Amino acid sequence: FNHAERHPVATELYAYGPHAATGQFEIGDPGLGIESANGIDLAIHYANPIVSASLTAFYTDFSDYIYGDPTGEEIDELPVYQFTHVDAVFRGLESELTWHAWHGADSFLDFGLLVDWVDTEIKESSNNLPRIPPARAGLDVRYGRDQWTLRSTLRRSFSQEDTAPFEEASDAYTNWSASLLLDLPVTKGQWHLVISGENLLDEEIHTHTSPIKDVAPAPGRHVRVNLAVAF
3-state per-residue secondary structure call for the chain? CEEEEECCCHHHHHCEEEECCCCEEEECCCCCCCEEEEEEEEEEEEECCCEEEEEEEEEEEEEEEEEEEEEEEEECCEEEEEEEEEEEEEEEEEEEEEEEEEECCCEEEEEEEEEEEEEEEECCCCCCCCCCCCCEEEEEEEEEECCEEEEEEEEEECCECCCCCCCCCECCEEEEEEEEEEEECCCCCEEEEEEEEECCCCCCCCCCCCCCCCCCCCCCCEEEEEEEEEC
**Please, are residues 141 and 151 in contact by the beta-carbon 8 Å criterion?**
yes
Provide mean pLDDT across the span 41-57: 98
End-to-end CA distance of the chain: 39
Give the mean pLDDT of the chain: 96
Per-residue pLDDT at 231 exceeds 90: no
Reported confidence tier of residue 211, pLDDT bands at 50, 70, 90: very high
Per-residue pLDDT at 72 exceeds 90: yes
- For residue 44, with 0-12 CB atoms within 10 Å meaning exposed, 13-18 middle and 19 or more buried, which class applies? exposed
**Amino acid 140: pLDDT:** 98
CA distance 143 to 106: 11
Proportion of the chain above pLDDT 70, given as a percent: 100
Provide mean pLDDT across the span 15-23: 95
Provide mean pLDDT across the span 75-99: 97
Proportion of the chain above pLDDT 90, given as a percent: 94
**Please, are residues 26 and 83 in contact by the beta-carbon 8 Å criterion?**
yes
Q: Which amino acid is at 184?
A: L
Provide mean pLDDT across the span 136-153: 96
Reported confidence tier of residue 187, pLDDT bands at 50, 70, 90: confident
**Amino acid 223: pLDDT:** 97
**Amino acid 188: pLDDT:** 85
Provide mean pLDDT across the span 100-114: 95
**Amino acid 189: pLDDT:** 85
In terms of pLDDT, which residue wins out, 135 or 215? 135
**Amino acid 138: pLDDT:** 98
